[in-house]
Amino acid sequence: MPIFDFECKQCGERFEALILKRTVPACPKCKSEDLEKLLSLPAVKSETSHGLAMRAAKKRDKAQGTEREYTQRQYELHHDD
């Protein structure tokens, strides 16, 4: 998907916009079409950033697992089947 960064020449708002074939981008703040297309910087991935992302994902998954276990236990305690 072609997502571009823009800066509005009227109000200075910076934003990203998905631009399709015949789409004319406009500033979400002031609705001006007088925009400057900015250079987008590539996302850099390294061993360090990958490791941080993996640790954060594992922490999130563990928290979700704990919540699921708690919810299941509460259900079992309050429902006699």
Percentage of residues in the chain having pLDDT higher than 70: 96
**Full-prediction pTM beyond 0.75?**
no
pLDDT above 90: residue 69:
yes
CB contact burial 11-30 (16+ within 10 A = b; e otherwise): eeeebebeeeeeeebbbeee
Domain boundaries, the chain: 3-38, 42-81
User: What is the tens place of the pLDDT at every residue in 34-63?
Assistant: 999 998 777 777 888 888 989 999 999 999
At residue 80, the pLDDT reads 79
Residue 43 to residues 1, 17, 48, 49, Cα–Cα distance (Å) = 16, 17, 14, 11
